[in-house]
């Protein structure tokens, strides 16, 4: 506080800089001298506008002091909305939230005290507990407490049994290792992807099968939790287009991607995503990953090793095009937790690969096959104009280059085959996979968090069954008896 500060800002970036300042705990109103034209920031441009504003710069660095004089967690008061009747009050609330940029365009549910109290029954943590390991949700730096997380879930129309997953998801994406400070403000359209393993996925109706990205009234948790995470990114992290996120297109950012692995569809001998990461089969685990593009890969029928290998080759061709060509920091690229993409594979395709009468591939075999066939020739990458492959970038590129069996220099998609992520999810039919690329220069890592359940968990599940009806595929609880 009190440090003289002045900012020279490229046109259109004033609010981005203000959010960044807030994320560091600094005053948002640090003086912006002028939004200088974008062209001024290019090599060899005319710097005359700086000279014309030099007096303002000197004054900002010698006389300016912030209005803010203290730091701490600010807990805003409850907002009161009135109207001539309930419907009118609800309409007024929608307008008020949109004016304050708290909504996202879709109708929201009022986060009343009663709604928050109900949601808070879904966690053993106190409302003031700070969830984000780094303190704030970057870039804006809003503090993710249990209370503020409940507000986001209430706005999204959530239920108390969703709270444990949402809290773990927020803890994971705000872990500095995840890289939210790059993901939220980037011009890239990259979003958090939340994968859930363990019994809780089915208990709260989190989809792992047909249409798992949503919407699905049978499995509403996926879309609602994703929408709540988006509100947290926006309202606490400041990820408003042109202010806290500069994503050029943004379509993937609406509700994020939240789903469960289809553990019941794992072929014999294939470990789940969570078990691969060192957890036990019955642990409830959230894994935060990242994705900036998603493509459904349609394949022909299979039944022989030749056909299966042909399909895997088709998948590898898509995966190889998301190679970062040395943009990812070396430390992140070598990490076992590298989130450089995620392949969703339907249980039918996985079963065909594991079939003894066809390929008889283990999960490790599939990863090795894909890794070997996603090796990208350096010559081809250089011809595409990839920046790290320029003459001056040779030293930077060296750690990422290996020599293939033909003696050619190639760039692997990941440092090792084990880093390739395969998750069994989607409908039961064959012929489809889903590639979620995460090509970005920031080295996004998978971050895990074990889900913490409240003591009243069974009561919450019983109430959910009363409210929503039996789970698709069979009831969990009815008159105290488990039915599957």
Give the pLDDT confidence score for residue 69 in this predicted structure.
66
Contact 342, 421 (CB under 8 A): yes
SS3 157: coil
pTM: 0.87
Q: For the residues 232-259, what does the mean pLDDT come to?
A: 82
Full DSSP string of 202-241: HHTT---STTTTS--TTSTHHHHHHHHHHHHHHHTT---B
Question: Is 391 buried (19+), middle (13-18) or exposed (0-12) by CB count in 10 A?
Answer: exposed
Q: For the residues 284-299, what does the mean pLDDT come to?
A: 90
Q: For the residues 160-185, what does the mean pLDDT come to?
A: 93
> Is pLDDT of 482 > 60?
no
Let me know the angle formed at the C-alpha of 302 by 417 and 374, rounded to the nearest 5 degrees: 25
Contact 369, 420 (CB under 8 A): no
pLDDT tens readout for residues 44-79: 888 888 788 788 878 878 877 777 666 666 677 888
Share of the chain above pLDDT 70, in %: 88
pLDDT tens readout for residues 101-119: 898 888 999 999 999 999 9
33-42, 109-118, 215-224, 443-452: which is most confident: 109-118
Higher pLDDT, 77 or 267: 267
pLDDT tens readout for residues 378-401: 888 877 776 566 555 556 678 888
CA distance 416 to 414: 5
CA distance 85 to 91: 10
How sure is the predictor about 484, in pLDDT bands with cuts at 50, 70 and 90?
very low
> Is pLDDT of 176 > 80?
yes
Distances (CA, A) of 465 to 468, 470, 482: 5, 5, 12
Give the pLDDT confidence score for residue 474 in this predicted structure.
57
- The backbone torsions φ and ψ at residue 372, rounded to the nearest 5 degrees and listed phi first, read -65, -30
What percent helix, strand, coil does the chain show, rounded to 5? 35, 15, 50
> Is pLDDT of 4 > 80?
no
> Is there a cis peptide before residue 391, judged by omega within 30 degrees of 0?
no
> Domains of the chain: which residue ranges?
7-62, 117-374+412-450
Least-confidence region, from 7-16, 49-58, 465-474: 7-16
Share of the chain above pLDDT 90, in %: 48
Question: Is 203 buried (19+), middle (13-18) or exposed (0-12) by CB count in 10 A?
Answer: buried
> Is pLDDT of 267 > 60?
yes
Contacts of 208 (CB under 8 A, 6+ apart): 201, 202, 259, 260, 261, 262, 263, 265, 425
- The backbone torsions φ and ψ at residue 421, rounded to the nearest 5 degrees and listed phi first, read -100, 120
Q: For the residues 209-219, what does the mean pLDDT come to?
A: 88
Give the orientation angle of helix 305-320 with respect to helix 363-372, to 10 degrees.
60
Give the pLDDT confidence score for residue 481 in this predicted structure.
39
Strand partners, 409: 403
């Amino acid at each position: 506080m009190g440090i003289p500060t002045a900012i020279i800002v490229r046109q259109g970036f004033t609010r981005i800089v203000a959010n960044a300042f807030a994320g560091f705990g600094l005053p948002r109103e640090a003086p912006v001298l002028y939004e200088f034209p974008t062209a001024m920031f290019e090599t060899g441009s005319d710097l005359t506008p700086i000279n014309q504003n030099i007096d303002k710069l000197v004054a900002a660095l010698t006389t300016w002091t912030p209005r803010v004089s203290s730091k701490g967690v600010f807990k805003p008061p409850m907002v009161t909305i009135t109207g001539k009747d309930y419907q009118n009050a609800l309409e007024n609330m929608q307008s008020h939230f949109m004016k304050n940029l708290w909504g996202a365009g879709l109708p929201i549910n009022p986060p009343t005290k009663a709604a928050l109290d109900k949601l808070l029954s879904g966690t053993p943590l106190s409302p003031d507990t700070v969830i984000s390991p780094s303190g704030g949700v970057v870039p804006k730096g809003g503090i993710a407490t249990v209370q503020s997380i409940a507000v986001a879930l209430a706005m999204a129309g959530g239920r108390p049994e969703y709270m444990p997953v949402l809290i773990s998801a927020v803890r994971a994406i705000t872990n500095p290792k995840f890289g939210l400070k790059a993901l939220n403000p980037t011009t890239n359209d990259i979003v958090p992807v939340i994968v859930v393993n363990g019994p809780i996925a089915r208990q709260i109706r989190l989809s792992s099968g047909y249409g798992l990205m949503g919407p699905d009234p049978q499995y509403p948790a996926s879309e609602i939790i994703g929408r709540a995470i988006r509100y947290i990114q926006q309202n606490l992290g400041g990820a408003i287009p042109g202010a806290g996120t500069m994503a050029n297109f943004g379509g993937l950012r609406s509700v994020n991607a939240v789903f469960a692995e289809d553990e019941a569809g794992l072929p014999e001998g294939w470990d789940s995503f969570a078990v691969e990461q060192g957890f036990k089969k019955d642990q409830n685990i959230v894994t935060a990953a990242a994705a900036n593009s998603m493509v459904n890969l349609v394949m022909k029928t299979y039944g022989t090793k030749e056909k299966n290998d042909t399909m895997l080759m088709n998948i590898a061709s898509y995966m190889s095009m998301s190679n970062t060509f040395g943009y990812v920091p070396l430390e992140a690229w070598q990490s076992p937790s590298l989130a450089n993409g995620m392949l969703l594979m339907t249980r039918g395709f996985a079963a065909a690969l594991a079939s003894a009468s066809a390929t008889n591939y283990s999960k490790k075999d599939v990863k090795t096959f894909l890794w070997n066939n996603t090796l990208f020739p350096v010559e081809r990458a250089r011809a595409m104009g990839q920046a790290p492959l320029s003459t001056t970038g040779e030293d930077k590129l060296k750690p990422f280059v290996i020599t293939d069996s033909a003696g050619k220099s190639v760039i692997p998609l990941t440092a090792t085959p084990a880093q390739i992520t395969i998750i069994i999810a989607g409908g039961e039919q064959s012929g489809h996979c889903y590639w979620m690329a995460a090509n970005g220069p920031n080295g996004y890592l998978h971050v895990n968090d074990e889900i913490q359940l409240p003591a009243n968990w069974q009561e919450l599940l019983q109430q959910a069954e009363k409210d929503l009806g039996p789970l698709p595929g069979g009831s969990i609880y009815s008159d105290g008896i488990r039915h599957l």
